Structure 1
Amino acid sequence: MGRIKPPKKISATQKIARRILTEILQLLFWVMNTLRFKNQLNIERPCVMAVYHDELMPLIHYFRDADVTAIASQNHFGYAIAKAMERYGYEVALGSRSRGGMDAFFQLLKSARKGKTIAFTVDGSRGPRHEMKEGAVMLARKTKLPLYLIRADYHGLRLESTWDKTKLPKPFTTVSFNYERFPMEDYADETDISIVVAEAQKRLLALQADDYGSPK
């Protein structure tokens, strides 16, 4: 597993904040040991999994120690998440559309070609919320791996201050997965990728209703 490279030019205060954030996330991951899963994900592996950023937490727990590679933002918050995920047995590529995105994509591509399953937060790392980008589709197209669209349904607490309104699972809550295999084989390689992404986005949204409502 590759070592995570920390963000450059980190002050002493930022180092302390990052360490505290990592430990808070680790505690949150520990709480997820209480989660109960109503159904299993019967998917082919290796594959590319397309998920929304705000529903990621239960999936992180579900796929712990399962030889999965994921992506996190190349910033201090992303670094903290990556370090916590490493303790769960994940390989993590750091990058986003604004910083390090190409390097992260090539790391994911390399991992996929080694037989690893890839977890892709398709609306990350800054949104807009529930708006699918092309990364997961592009990766599935290049590797010829099956693409699975996955949603997680569970009771939780929304973090209103985050761009994606992250949903933290409540202890002992039950998680249900709604998912489908996206038919990449129906689209020729020369098909404009925006067409494929638009259809994948439509199907991902349709898997379950969004339970988030803006506060009044």
Structure 2
Amino acid sequence: MSLAKRFARSDRGRRLLAGAIALYIRLVHRTTRWERELPEATRALIEGGRPCVVAFWHGRMLVMRGAWTDRPERLHVLISGHRDGRLISTALEGLGFPSVSGSSRRGGATALRAMGRELAQGACVAITPDGPKGPRMRVKPGAIKAAQLAGVPIVPVSGSARPARLLDSWDRFLLLRPFGRARIVWGEPLAVPRRAGEAELEALAEELERRLIALTEQADRACGQVPVAPDPRPAPRATATIGRRAPLAPAD
């Protein structure tokens, strides 16, 4: 391993890199002309200090600093527990945003409990439903489940900017540049009933995905960006056939 990689993985290296990320985000935030669009119901929810789950795509993480104009300590951001996640968590804490550790891949149950505690205390929780590794712009069930367990609405939000660069990463991360223009678009709150069954939860996840895709496209077009396409939908899991005979193949 090279000296640069060893330094980047050290505690001191991670702190310095996180500080540089936080400094860049502050620079972008202060030099960008922000335009925000909020439905009245969403404005009343956030400005009224009520808890909610905020959902946005992983690739639009940098834009979200301009979306939350309330006190940063009210928004707890779910961050995966791997090394890159810890780096992002340190950077966010430098900006005043608390973090919750966990992901849909690792520590999912622990993350749900932690999010539930923050929501019960009146905070809001932000989650990237396609993170930490995709598929891009496809909603995993964690965001809907967290809202259901806490009995709070989930609010989609997205944004875009110009000038900005779309990185060649799995999430097509949008890297904002200073002295630009950005547009934030919030959606209507989506209620998640506590007694919802699996079919209803799946339908709500599909609705959240549809709204997030539409909001992202709306923001991209407003900023003159070519909209990013979602990844293909994952193939459905095979239905178990234990204890049942497989159907006969059709005759030729």
1:173-192 map, 5 Å = 173-184=180-191, 189-192=196-199
CA contact (8 A) 1:151 1:204 kept: yes
Q: Retained in 2: the 8 A contact 1:187–1:196? A: no
Does residue 31 (structure 1) correspond to residue 39 (structure 2)? The answer is: no
Paired residues of 1:55 and 1:167 also in contact (CA < 8 A):
yes
Residue type of the partner of 2:9?
A: Q
> Aligned match of 2:165 in 157, 162, 173?
157
Counterpart of 2:68 in structure 1 is 63
2:81–2:102 CA contact under 8 A, matched in 1: yes
* Structure 1 residue 131 displacement after superposition: 0.8
Q: Are 1:123 and 1:131, in contact at CA under 8 Å, matched by a contact in 2?
A: yes
Which segment drifts farther, 44-53 or 170-179? Answer: 170-179
Could you tell me how far apart the structure 1 residues matched to 2:185 and 2:99 are? 25
Of 87, 108, 130, which residue of structure 2 is paired with 1:123? 130
Equivalent pair of 1:147/1:184 in contact (CA under 8 Å): yes
Contact between 2:21 and 2:91, CA under 8 Å: does it hold in 1?
A: yes
Q: Give the equivalent residue in structure 2 for 1:202.
A: 210
Of the two, which has the highest radius of gyration? 2
Which residue of the partner structure matches residue 4 of structure 1?
none
Choose which of 9, 14, 18 in structure 2 pairs with 1:22. 18
1:95 maps to 2:92? no
- Which segments of 5 or more consecutive residues in structure 2 lack a partner in the other structure? 1-5, 221-225, 230-252
**Secondary structure of the structure 2 residue equivalent to 1:207:** helix
Of the structure 1 ranges 200-209 and 66-75, higher mean CA displacement relative to structure 2 is found in 200-209
TM-score, normalised by the number of residues in structure 1: 0.83
What percent identity do the matched residue pairs reach?
25
| RMSD of Structure 2 on Structure 1 (CA) | 2.4
Which digits, 9 at most, give the CA deviation of each residue in 1:108-161, with x for residues without a partner? 11101110011111110011111111111111112121211111121211221x
In structure 2, the CA distance between the partners of 1:70 and 1:142, relative to structure 1 (3 Å rule), is same
Q: TM-score, normalised by structure 2?
A: 0.72
Q: How far apart, CA to CA, are the structure 1 residues paired with 2:59 and 2:140? A: 15
CA contact (8 A) 1:29 1:61 kept: no
Equivalent AA in structure 2 for residue 124 of structure 1: G
SS in 2 for 1:137: helix
Give the C-alpha shift of residue 60 in structure 1.
2.5
Partner of residue 137 from structure 1, selected from 144, 148, 164 = 144
Aligned residues: 203
Could you tell me which residue of structure 1 aligns to residue 244 of structure 2?
Answer: none
Give, in angstroms, the shift of residue 191 of structure 1: 5.0
Relative to 1, partners in 2 of residues 1:43 and 1:140: Cα closer, same or farther, differing over 3 Å? farther
Mark the CA change 1:187 to 1:116 in structure 2 (over 3 Å): closer, same or farther. closer
Contact preservation (8 Å) 2:151, 2:193: no
* Cα offset, 1:197, TM superposition: 0.6
Is contact 1:158-1:166 (8 Å) kept? yes
